[in-house]
Structure 1
Amino acid sequence: MTTPLASEPFGQLPDRGAATLFTLESAVLRVRITDYGGRMVSIEAPDRDGRRGHVLLGFDNVAAYLQYGGSFGTLLGRYANRIAGAVISLDGKTYDLSNNSGADMLHGGAIGFNRVVWSVLTAQAEPVPKLVLTHVSPDGDQGFPGEVTARATYELEADTLALTLEARTTKPTVINLSAHPYFNLASPSVGDVLGHELSIAADAFLPTDAAQIPTGEIHPVAGTPFDFRHPAQLGSRIRHPDPQLFHGLGYDHCFALNTHGARTLKRAARLRDPVTGRVLEIDTDQVGLQVYTGNKLTGAFAGHGGVVYRQSAGLALEAQDFPDAPHHPNFPSTSLEPNDTYRRIIRYRFTVG
């Protein structure tokens, strides 16, 4: 008999039952995840002196997530990021999608995977802490074709939290699953992340128009404020007078990790806080990494410990396929056929250095 994960009530959802909070713990990390949106609610990681502290923006109950909205820590689907005009065409048929961001779709529509209670398949503490969640999205959900069965598996081993995302469909469709954790390795209580050092294993990024829809270009990072091939402080680049930084009020762009050949698990990014020494390394087989510097956090609400989340309070690093890929044949395809299984891996490793 396996030992179940520690769990506790996380609040009541109108018309959707109760939410539960699960705790996964190793000798290094303590991670809390709720079945509401499959969200990472908190991550506690040690600094260079071995003191654990919060490194994730989040809230203390489901009511706060309902009130403040946003994508704090959540799973994203059916389609992470944006689809222009909230419309796609498959096999000669046009599908109108949920337009929840002006005329466009963002993160799966008005009721994306971030706004549903996922079913729990496994919640075990041994031999390694594991939480397996599933959600069935019916045919036509938010306008997408096909009934999609999605699965998210969180596993914690020592200093690494692994997330495996899987899906199957009954009809040809498009899918792009991801997660949206906001990190602050210094602790959200100390301010912003502009002193963090970031490196990204990407030679190119996706420019956008003023509505933050990709133009279709895959532009080299060389000679731009988007060149993080070597570690650089976020604050050293974010104020540059680059038109792309104006569009998103800072960084809110997808970096191209791998657009050729087979998907392989590899280093996507490294984030370091020089004050605490905490380091986050992200490995993934996704082709893109959306980097968002919390530009629209206004200070209108507070999270864990009563900390007010202002602009750049956290850095979202979202490993995913390319946004708006259905409209750009030169982007890696996000189509999924009924006989295929979608599977992506994201690993978050916390060390010091």
Structure 2
Amino acid sequence: MDIQTNTIDVRGQQWKEFTLINDHGMSVSILDFGGIITQILTPDRNGKLENVVIGFKNYEDYLDNPAYFGALIGRVAGRIANSQFELDGKTFNLPANEGENHLHGGEPGFHHTIWTVTPFQNTQEVGLTLSHTSPDGENGYPGNLEMTVSYTLTNDNALSITYEGLADHKTVLTATNHTYFNLSGDLKTDIRQHEVTLDSSQFVELDENLIPTGKLADVTDTTYDFRQGRLIQDGVESNDTQNVVAGNGYDHYFIFDHSQAASAIVREAESGRQLTVITDQPGVVMYTSNTLDKGLVLRERESDKYMGLCLETQASPASIHHDGFPSVWLDKGEKYFRKTTFKFA
């Protein structure tokens, strides 16, 4: 097990990139800026190590990073309708950074924060503890929030992300990571032939602005039924209104049944790679990069639609305005603790 550290100068800012390496050669590279995962090297069926996430070729492009490649997201992952919510009779207004709506915590969100990083390692695991204090009123959110995120890589090729939060005022919080996975390796192909299995029998219906309507939909007999495995291509080619609204693919919140040990499994036949997701989060936003801009300079090639698959494990910001959704409310003094593990095979 090892940790390598690289210092990067980006327009006068000093960033550090930490690379976690296990005894089998798998590695995960993470910036202190945004907690961004810039690269994950995992073996294919023949043992060849290749990158399985989207990352920029030039580090300075992370300063903007409109697609949130690899970044930590918070305070609230996802969209908050009309950029406001009510709490104890008071209206809190948030910056509108996607039309009239508030997306992924606003600016500067977790993705544009330089985190304090403490590395750790032993014979079985290697990792980083990232910490940050979001002050009361930042981007309109109430309460001082103490946030800690830990990345841990083990010798069984599993990367765990643990999120801990504590606020001194009732507030809202659901954090996630916005890595785009592509198991073909080095972005050789897009993700339309990736097969996904989800332990989910319900998904959240969206309006034309990708805001939840308040309706939970049954996946049965739809292109949203991933319980027995389904290719991403099915949603890309579908004429279903929800697939079309999302830009011909998926950008939807699926509620986990938690009836299986794994909440999600992704397979790519050509490379033989498999990604298993185990989480205590109530659901996941699966985004298939349907609206990803073309022409961004990535590590291996230029970006295009369907280049990566995001599995954003989280609660639902729809719970702010609708009943019956996994809650993002956090009471004063209540400890927020969530863990997601991505295991590669």
Question: Which consecutive residues of structure 1, in runs of 5 or more, have no partner in the other structure?
Answer: none
Q: Distance in 2 between matches of 1:265 and 1:7?
A: 38
Report the equivalent of 2:292: 297
1:237 maps onto 2:232 in alignment? no
1:35 maps onto 2:32 in alignment? yes
Query: What one-letter code is carried by the residue in structure 1 that aligns with 2:173?
Result: I
Which of the residues 58, 74, 79 maps onto 1:77?
74
- Please give the TM-score of this superposition, normalised by the length of structure 1: 0.93
Q: Distance in 1 between matches of 2:187 and 2:211?
A: 33
Query: What one-letter code is carried by the residue in structure 2 that aligns with 1:292?
Result: Y
SS where residue 217 of structure 1 aligns? strand
1:253 maps onto 2:252 in alignment? yes
Query: Alpha carbons of 1:203 and 1:264: their partners in 2 closer, same or farther (altered >3 Å)?
Result: closer
Deviation at 1:288, TM superposition (A): 1.1
Partners of 1:188 and 1:313 within 8 A in 2: no
Deviation at 1:216, TM superposition (A): 1.0
Query: What one-letter code is carried by the residue in structure 1 that aligns with 2:196?
Result: L
Deviation at 1:246, TM superposition (A): 1.4
Partners of 1:284 and 1:346 within 8 A in 2: yes
Partners of 1:76 and 1:107 within 8 A in 2: yes
Deviation at 1:56, TM superposition (A): 0.4
1:323 maps onto 2:323 in alignment? no
Query: Alpha carbons of 1:63 and 1:82: their partners in 2 closer, same or farther (altered >3 Å)?
Result: same
Which of the residues 280, 283, 298 maps onto 1:288?
283
Partners of 1:265 and 1:283 within 8 A in 2: no
Partners of 2:317 and 2:328 within 8 A in 1: no
Which range moves more in the overlay, 327-336 or 205-214?
Answer: 327-336
| Aligned Cα root-mean-square deviation (Å) | 1.7
Deviation at 1:208, TM superposition (A): 0.5
Deviation at 1:271, TM superposition (A): 0.3
**Deviation readout 1:166-211 (Å, 9 max, x if unpaired):** 1000100010100111000002431210011111000010011001
Query: What one-letter code is carried by the residue in structure 2 that aligns with 1:293?
Result: T
Deviation at 1:295, TM superposition (A): 1.1
SS where residue 200 of structure 2 aligns? coil
Query: What one-letter code is carried by the residue in structure 1 that aligns with 2:133?
Result: V
Count, aligned residues: 341
1:202 maps onto 2:200 in alignment? yes
Q: Distance in 2 between matches of 1:108 and 1:172?
A: 16
Query: What one-letter code is carried by the residue in structure 1 that aligns with 2:335?
Result: T
Partners of 1:156 and 1:162 within 8 A in 2: yes
SS where residue 330 of structure 1 aligns? coil
Partners of 1:225 and 1:238 within 8 A in 2: no
Partners of 2:58 and 2:297 within 8 A in 1: no
The equivalences for 1:44-123 within 5 A come to 44-120=41-117, 122-123=118-119
Q: Distance in 2 between matches of 1:271 and 1:195?
A: 10
Deviation at 1:308, TM superposition (A): 0.9
SS where residue 189 of structure 1 aligns? coil
Q: Distance in 2 between matches of 1:107 and 1:228?
A: 26
Q: Distance in 1 between matches of 2:336 and 2:228?
A: 32
SS where residue 246 of structure 1 aligns? helix
Which range moves more in the overlay, 264-273 or 249-258?
Answer: 264-273
Identity within the alignment, %: 34
Query: What one-letter code is carried by the residue in structure 2 that aligns with 1:97?
Result: L
Q: Distance in 2 between matches of 1:219 and 1:171?
A: 34
Question: Which consecutive residues of structure 2, in runs of 5 or more, have no partner in the other structure?
Answer: none
Query: What one-letter code is carried by the residue in structure 2 that aligns with 1:283?
Result: I
Which of the residues 330, 342, 347 maps onto 2:336?
342
Report the equivalent of 1:189: 187
SS where residue 325 of structure 1 aligns? helix
Which of the residues 273, 279, 284 maps onto 1:278?
273
Partners of 1:188 and 1:314 within 8 A in 2: no
1:140 maps onto 2:137 in alignment? yes
SS where residue 324 of structure 1 aligns? helix
Query: Alpha carbons of 1:326 and 1:272: their partners in 2 closer, same or farther (altered >3 Å)?
Result: same
Deviation at 1:330, TM superposition (A): 1.6
Which range moves more in the overlay, 233-242 or 309-318?
Answer: 233-242
